[in-house]
Amino acid sequence: MAAFRTQPVTPAEHGARGFALFNLGFRPFYLLAALFAAFAVPAWVFALRGHGWPAGYLEGLMWHEHEMVFGFALAVIAGFLLTAGRVWTGLATPRGLPLALLAAHWLAARVLIVTGPAPLAALVDAAFPFVLAAAMARVIFGARNARNYFVVALLVALGLANAGFHLAMLGVIRMPAATAVQAALYLILTLLIVMAGRVVPSFTANALPTAGVKLRPRLDRVALGVTLVAFAGAVLGWGGWPEAALAFAAAALHAARQAGWAPLATRRRPILWILHLSHAWIPVGFVLLGLAALGIVIQAAALHAFAVGALSGTIVGMITRTALGHTGRPLVAGRAETAAYVLVHCAAVARVAAAIVLVAYMPLVELSGVLWSAAFLVYAVTYAPRLAAPRLDGKPG
């Protein structure tokens, strides 16, 4: 274990007083993810309208699917974990030049994915989850933080899914590349479900002590177990009633789980209701997944309920909350944050509606893209100065 020993974080280690973008992981990665989100989806909708795509490695639909998971979502995960890892362990996660190089790695992958050459793009992009896993392993294993060992395993699994995607795209293995992206989305949703069970009821109980939040660990474990089997069935394409029954069971379990978190008590607290509303898309997504298994709706309805509603909603809620707390600001959502929350969920409604009714499909997709991108543009404009400046209270980070 000697190789994993690191020095504890000390107050003197918070970096330059004037420019703090690389003081802690959430700063560069949240900003990069928000800027990427603001422009990537409009670019995809522009291409979907038949206006062409730059010649390169990934194009069109495969670029959109891959980049929303392994580009946007993974950047947010990197920022969250590199920040939370220090809190979990008390050990220093990458900062300064190492953090800048990690952010540059992610950015280089985004550029190469469009420009090519294909083998170099695949190599650089596939390496990123493993580099991030190594950075997290250093502190989690170094602190013997057994509760979060699964985080390293999940990052490695994401790396394997990404490698599988690229090998399929390069024709090295025979597998639908979209299957790897779908598996990665479900892995990320699994992380979201675990973390939501830890933080959403905790945040709610701390802010609203009389709300009556109830923790039911056994229900959490059962819900997670059924979720994993349901996701496996969807990836393996079981179809029919076996897949549908699992999905409907997962929906019921997650609805029951959330009911104990007193979601209605948070309706006057945007910083809280954004997390509850986003989690509510998980049972909705499972209902749609079950209906898709029965051939009643297309699978895209479920995937976008999960990706735009649950995942993106939770992301915008957490990147505002994390940034407020770690820059020394009160945990209060103002007009900009609330606008971003509303925009994301309106985008989710429009995108899921497009996949269900298939009437006015392109206008609804375009509306969803504009709303979703606007949400993250609001975040980027509002938070860029905060992410680049030192904490208001002078503490490290």
Backbone φ and ψ for 327, nearest 5 degrees, come out as: -110, 10
Domain ranges of the chain: 21-50+57-175, 213-386
Residues ≥6 apart with Cβ < 8 Å to 149 = 140, 141
DSSP 298: -
Q: Is the pLDDT of residue 338 over 90?
A: yes
pLDDT at 386 over 90: yes
For residue 247, the model assigns a pLDDT of 97
Cis peptide leading into 42, omega within 30 of 0? Answer: no
Query: 256-282: string of b/e by CB count within 10 Å (b at 16+)?
Result: ebbeebbbebbeebbbbbbbbbbbbbb
Residue 10 has pLDDT above 80, yes or no: no
Q: How far apart are CA 165 and CA 111, in angstroms?
A: 17
Q: Residue 56: what pLDDT?
A: 74
* C-alpha to C-alpha distance for 290 and 243, rounded to whole angstroms: 7
Q: Is the pLDDT of residue 8 over 60?
A: no
256-308 tens-digit pLDDT = 999 999 999 999 999 999 999 999 999 999 999 999 999 999 999 999 999 99
Residue 242 has pLDDT above 60, yes or no: yes
**The pLDDT value given to residue 60:** 81
Count of CA atoms in the C-beta half-sphere (13 A) of 183: 21
What pLDDT score does 58 carry? 85
Distance (Å, whole) CA 117 – CA 324: 40
- The three-state secondary structure class of 8 is strand
